[in-house]
A and B are shown apart, each in its own frame.
Chain A
């Protein structure tokens, strides 16, 4: 399929933006942006001819002129609207971003290591440059677009030997405008040796209109660190979301990534882990719930680059209406990564005749002493289970909801950050009760 590329808006907004800069245009950091823009302009958006994008046509994005959110503008954003997205009784740090820009008036900082990226850039750009872009592939067009307009995001740094008591909540809100808007938050999470932290990214929309959230998160897991990274995306059904979470694990570290996608009309999630040190454990869980004409694409990569690491992956999808789901799970086991133990599972529940799922496990194994398993199932609710519930007096609709919820809760229960787990639980129950699996 041919993808018509509209890139003009990116080039002209970038030029406009540069003109208004006061000296910043000459910095090393801005040089990064400039070369990223160049890379994006040269390659353009990915097309379905590329193996990585075979099932996902980004034409709705590629054909749209976006207006990048170049400055912080909280006008019209009321506290009570933002407050709806908070976790009740939450104790940890919360950073709120409006269209990708840090919003201090809605944020609560409990830890000095939890900051806005823009703030750190102003004070100590070296600290950022040491890590930024080290984990994402320069050839990825969306990562390039993110870097071209990169200004702000979360910067979380946990020193060696620190266990953060509460979770860190990063709340990203896009506000709809008259013109399609682009937000490009960029997050850096750097966790020291033997440290422990849980980080929750949630994505929501206020107002109507079309938005593109193009986010990149880079996570550096130090030796022996323990990290839970949760991402929950519940943006409006007129939103596009392309997100990349790229994780590097040093020896003996344990990282769990939970990715839950509920909203958005076209969503692509890339979650990648590189196990650079020995004896690591990586767990990737995912849940997507699609309805209407949503397209939700999850691409994961686990790169066993060192010996004696374990990876566990469970991605589940519920597809209703005319929605489409994609799962592509790559596992690489490098030549020296002996004693690797990798397990991948992908399960899809199709709730309507028109819903679709493309699933593609991809294992490339170059070591000989490894244990790798994968399995994918696509199915409907089981008649026997439905009949069993009905035979006890539970109406058919409720029986369907109970089984659908059970399918999803298998992933939700793997989220250890309690306020998020409770919110997910309540959101899903409410949606099922209202007779729709999802919706904005």
Chain B
């Protein structure tokens, strides 16, 4: 589904990703861990198409197409979804308007008809249950005045509505208390299917207690320093990142 080959990316001339290679197949959950500044969020942003990062070398194929040639909106319409570490506030645009515009853009790409107001509302109500969201939320502006937890829940809610093939969760656990973390993780688990894949970017092991990964990769200094199964995350929890950093040096 996703094949990253020797990816290099820089911001403002400073190289942050220095040769990342990774393969994600349908049905898999991958965790990308690493210390602060290792390039985890950069990797997520590059995959979503944020243009503040310049790809200097390497390739990324997503379902057979060169992902790096697609605009962010094309990536989304092809089924790629990024849950933001810092969801953006958009005053004056209601959640329902935003979701409808997004959903219809994605549906159009899939060759499906645009949803009318009634069908849209029915779908939205069903998806709201997944992340336990209050209906009044629909008429509020996107993320405006939301608490940290509400913002993260909104990301997962959007994910539920857009039904992506590949979801990348960028530090979705940061700033969440344990209850919010559980709601968010439950939401992600409910959306897991054998055709879909999830990449969880996180600093801590904690989220992985709830979203159980098939593979864990440790990013250090812009490269994957070590890959393993779930037990690698537990090892990191216990020993920290220093030993991998030393190995990688």
Residues of A within 8 A of B (CB): 384-385, 387-396, 398-399, 402-403, 405-407, 409-410
Min distance, Cβ B77 to any Cβ of chain A, angstroms: 5
Whether the pair B105, A395 counts as a contact (CB closer than 8 A) is yes
Closest chain-A Cβ to B83's Cβ sits at a distance in Å of 10
Could you say which residues of chain B place their CB within 8 Å of the CB of A398? 101, 105
Q: Which residues of B contact A388 (CB under 8 A)?
A: 84, 87-88, 90, 142
* Chain B: number of interface residues, binned into ranges: 20 to 34
Would you call A393 and B90 a contact (CB within 8 A)?
A: no
Considering only residues 166-194 of chain B, those with a C-beta below 8 Å from chain A are none
Q: Which of A391, A394, A402 has the most CB of B within 10 A?
A: A391
In the complex, what's the smallest C-beta–C-beta distance from B172 to chain A, in angstroms?
Answer: 15
Kindly state the separation between the CA atoms of A391 and B50 in the bound complex, as whole angstroms: 9
Most buried by B among A384, A390, A392: A392
| 8 Å CB contact of B105 from A394, A407, A410 | A394
- Give every chain B residue within 8 A of A389 (Cβ-Cβ): 90, 98, 101-102
With the chains together, A388 CA to B87 CA distance in Å?
Answer: 8
Would A393 and B88 count as touching, CB distance under 8 A? no
Residue pairs across A and B with CB atoms within 8 Å: the count is 74
Complex-state Cα separation, A388 to B76, whole angstroms: 11
Q: Is the CB of A406 within 8 A of B91?
A: yes
Contact between chains at A410 and B101 (CB < 8 Å): no
List, in ascending order, chain A residues with CB within 8 A of B105's CB.
392-395, 398
Q: Is B35 an interface residue (CB 8 A)?
A: no
- B75, B88, B106 pick with most chain A CB within 10 angstroms: B88
CB distance from A406 to the nearest CB of B (A): 3
- List chain A residues, Cβ under 8 A from B75: 391
Contact A392-B88, Cβ < 8 Å, known A387-B50, A406-B93: no
Contact of A402 with B73 at beta-carbon distance under 8 Å, contacts A388-B88, A394-B101 already known: no
Nearest residue (CB) in B for A397 is B73
Interface residues of B (CB under 8 A from A): 48-51, 71-73, 75-77, 81-82, 84, 87-88, 90-93, 97-98, 101-103, 105-106, 109, 141-142, 158, 162
Asked if A384 and B91 sit within 8 Å, CB to CB, the answer is: no
Q: What would be 10 A-B contacts, judged by CB atoms less than 8 Å apart? A: A390-B72, A390-B73, A391-B48, A391-B49, A392-B102, A393-B106, A398-B105, A403-B93, A406-B93, A410-B91
CB-defined contacts of A395 to chain B, threshold 8 Å: 73, 105
A contact residues around B109 at 8 Å (CB): 393
Which residues from chain B contact A384 at a C-beta distance below 8 Å? 88
**In the complex the two chains form, what is the Cα distance from A399 to B75 in whole Å?**
15
Query: Do the beta carbons of B72 and A387 come within 8 Å of each other?
Result: yes
Asked whether, in the complex, the Cβ of B77 is within 8 Å of the Cβ of A393, the reply is: yes
A425: min CB distance to chain B, Å: 12
Given A387-B50, A402-B101, is A392 in contact with B93 using a C-beta cutoff of 8 Å? no
Which residue of chain A is the closest to B161 with respect to CB atoms? A392
Query: In the complex, are the beta carbons of A393 and B73 less than 8 A apart?
Result: yes
Instruction: Give the residue of A385, A394, A407, A409 whose beta carbon is less than 8 angstroms from that of B73.
Output: A394
Bound form: Cα–Cα A387–B142 in Å: 14
- CB proximity of A357 to chain B, nearest CB, Å: 20
For the complex, give the distance between the alpha carbons of A393 and B112 in Å.
Answer: 14
Given the known interface contacts A402-B101, A406-B90, A410-B91, the answer about A391 and B82 at a Cβ–Cβ threshold of 8 Å is: yes
Give the shortest distance, in Å, between B109 (CB) and chain A (any CB). Answer: 7
The contact of A385 among B48, B81, B90, B97, by CB within 8 Å, is B90
A392 to B93, alpha carbons, bound, how many Å?
14
Residue pair A406, B92 in contact (C-beta under 8 Å): yes
Partner of B71, one of A392, A396, A405: A396
- Complex Cα spacing A418 to B84, Å: 37
Q: Which residue of chain A has its CB nearest to the CB of B158?
A: A392
A347 to B219, CA, bound (A): 43
Q: By the criterion CB–CB under 8 Å, are A393 and B76 in contact?
A: yes
- Nearest-neighbor residue (CB-CB) of A407 within chain B: B92
Query: Min CB distance, A415 to chain B, in Å?
Result: 15
Residue of A nearest to B109 (CB): A393
12 new A-B contacts at CB < 8 Å, known A388-B88, A396-B71: A388-B84, A389-B98, A390-B49, A391-B48, A391-B49, A392-B158, A393-B109, A394-B73, A394-B101, A395-B105, A398-B101, A402-B93
Query: Contact between A390 and B76 (Cβ–Cβ < 8 Å)?
Result: yes
Q: Taking the nearest CB of chain B, how far is it from the CB of A375, in angstroms?
A: 16
Taking the nearest CB of chain A, how far is it from the CB of B90, in angstroms? 5
CB distance from A424 to the nearest CB of B (A): 14
List, in ascending order, chain A residues with CB within 8 A of B81's CB.
391
Measured CB to CB, the closest approach of chain A to B180, in angstroms, equals: 21
> Which residues of A have CB within 8 Å of B91?
406, 410
Q: A409, B158: Cβ atoms under 8 Å?
A: no
* Minimum C-beta distance from A383 to chain B (A): 8
Instruction: State A123–B179 Cα separation when bound (angstroms).
Output: 75
Bound-state Cα–Cα, A402 to B109, Å: 20
- Across-interface contacts of A392 in B (CB, < 8 A): 73, 76, 98, 102, 105-106, 158, 162
- Give A175 Cβ to nearest chain B Cβ, in Å: 37
Give the CA-CA distance A409 to B93 in the complex, in Å.
9
